[in-house]
Amino acid sequence: MLELARPDVVIRADDLSFTLDDPPHGPLAVRGWRMAGVDVQARLLPAGFQVVAGPCVETVAQDEERPGPLPYLLTREIGGWEHTFSADVYRRDYADFTRAVAFLRRYLTDRDDTLAAAFPGRQDVLCGVLVRQIRRGIEWRGWYTFPESRQVVSTRSRLTVG
């Protein structure tokens, strides 16, 4: 797991928004793979993450022009591919939040299929993306933790041949 410096960003789970039409943003960190015949990049942003996969540029981040919250379920066609996105926000008590962060830290560390980071001075703030090839395309999962509200955001996206 990376330790990334970022501007001091005040962000809440409800501030995250979703879009498929932003251009790629300047990332704090990026990792790439080749899967299902397309290049895939996971990009960690100062206040969210982005996945670029073939014709799809999915952004889950704080964006003042697009207020949150995230959609629960959304399906769209993009360049001959079907894109499905879902998001859940879980509020935890203190002990359960601490366990969830510890689990995500272990789960996302030292894997070839992830890009994940914590932030100096904010060890309970994690952001991570796991990317894998599935039978008809690509799937990625994203997580973002918010210690102030003890919330964990979990997203799941699939890009499949239509």
* Preceding omega of 71 cis (within 30 degrees of 0): no
What pLDDT, in 10s, does the model give residues 88-145? 999 999 999 999 999 999 999 999 999 999 887 777 999 999 999 999 999 999 999 9
pLDDT band at 5 (very low <50, low <70, confident <90, very high): low
Higher pLDDT, 5 or 39: 39
Residue pair 25/140 in contact (Cβ under 8 Å)? The answer is: no
Q: Please return the burial class of 78, using the count of CB atoms within 10 Å of its CB with bins 0-12, 13-18 and 19+.
A: middle
pTM for the whole structure: 0.93
pLDDT band at 11 (very low <50, low <70, confident <90, very high): confident
